[in-house]
Structure 1
Amino acid sequence: MLHKVFAAVLGLGLAFSGAASAQDAVDGPGPNLVLDVAGQASGRIVIDLLPDIAPRAVDQIVALAREGAYDGVVFHRVIEGFMAQTGDVQFGKKGGDISLAGMGGSTRANLPDEFSTVPFERGVVGMANSGSPNSSNSQFFIMFAPAPHLDGGYTVIGRVVVGMEVVDAIRKGSARQNGLVENPDYIATATVR
């Protein structure tokens, strides 16, 4: 009888480990930033963060997500065929005045640049900056398509591993206004796993 109980427990353990392995296969080695998006686009985006490539930026993104800072933040600048930008936790909260979205950061210090040889391809996530060195903070962007002109000039922090169809569906902005979005989609919740 004891060997049947042991076999049943062992079987459950295998089932649980199989479920964990399936989830790991869907995500990446992690940490993974999980964005539940709402608005015109609705769904989940999972970004496999790359701490080996950009340790300081990844630490900052993880800390902000765990604090709930990204919850309710809009995709304020979205350019068809290029990228979707979000992460302005200072001026980009849905329901408030978002006229300055894209101009702010967080209460945390700006980050040093962590340039790498990782190319900006479809699904790659990079840190936005103000155009001057060491000026990234909380904002990031997700690529719709390759953009080799960005390579080596922005910090790469991760890759989308689930939900590129959600990224593709994010409401686009006006080309005449450099991607400024009217009634933008937003991050309902951001978590880390």
Structure 2
Amino acid sequence: QGTSAAPTGSPTPSSPAPTATIPASPSPQAGGLPRLQGKATVVMTVKGSPITMEIDGTNAPITAGNFVDLVNRKVYDGLVFHRVVREPQPFVVQGGDPQSKDPNVPIDRLGTGGFIDPATKQPRNIPLEITPRNAKEPLYNQKLSDAGITVPPKLKHTRGAVAMARSANLDSASSQFYIALADLQFLDGDYAVFGYVTQGMETVDKIQAGDRIESATVTKGIENLKTGGVTSSTASPSPSPTTSP
């Protein structure tokens, strides 16, 4: 599996005029994925300081559901922010590779790992999911530009945006996420934003490569998480994967 990374920063070329594209159906594999119906709040602690995120399942139900489910499973506890880009200008902090729970894995080897579902022993990947501003449903498996859509997404890459990292494969996002350190408009429509930091950006601004997520907890909205067609009300036990899929 390729490296899961936020892009390096080349703007997307201009797209043709918007068309009345009917959003594509989710990938076949999306049927069994967790979904968030509404909002949830996640508090992530780094260096003893809380970072509060509002997670938006209204506009990114699968992406938000995947993240909230992984938080609820305690997958992120103890994982590292392995990629921090602030030069030549503030860009992103990125973490969530399950391989990083093992302190013996060098930081330069991180970035390829994803969540392995303990029930199926298979990697969980989610489809690219972006809702255009004028749409009622998300577009799946496509960048907005590839679908001929030039309106911006509802969830934009403003400073504090939380989005999924992925490889060049559009449907390869799993557990790795990034937080935007600045407005990154050129990423809009290409990568899936699913929430925003509402408190604690001063902590995000201080994150260094190698800093660990001490804990991540769903503090509100867990009743909005639907897994396998049922509401999730308690944390599901899961071994934390340490190997790359």
Shorter-chain TM-score bucket reads: 0.7 to 0.9
- 1:46 Cα shift? 0.7
Which residue number in structure 2 is paired with residue 20 of structure 1?
none
Q: How does 1:40-189 map to 2 (within 5 A)?
A: 42-80=48-86, 81-89=90-98, 91-93=99-101, 95-99=103-107, 100-108=109-117, 109-116=124-131, 117=153, 118-171=155-208, 181=209, 184-189=210-215
- 1:148 Cα shift? 1.3
Richer in helix (by share): 1
Return the letter of the residue paired with 2:63: A
Deviation by residue 1:109-159 (Cα, 9 ceiling, x = unmatched): 200111130220100110000121111011100011011111000111100
Return the letter of the residue paired with 1:60: N
Which residue number in structure 1 is paired with residue 43 of structure 2?
34
- 1:47 Cα shift? 0.6
3-state DSSP of counterpart to 2:174: coil
Please, which runs of 5 or more residues in structure 2 have no aligned partner?
1-37, 118-123, 132-152, 220-245
Identity, in percent, stands at: 37
- 1:63 Cα shift? 1.3
TM-score norm. by structure 1 comes to: 0.74
Return the letter of the residue paired with 2:69: A
CA contact (8 A) 1:124 1:156 kept: yes
Runs of 4+ in structure 1 off by over 4 angstroms are none
Return the letter of the residue paired with 1:44: P
Greater C-alpha Rg = 1
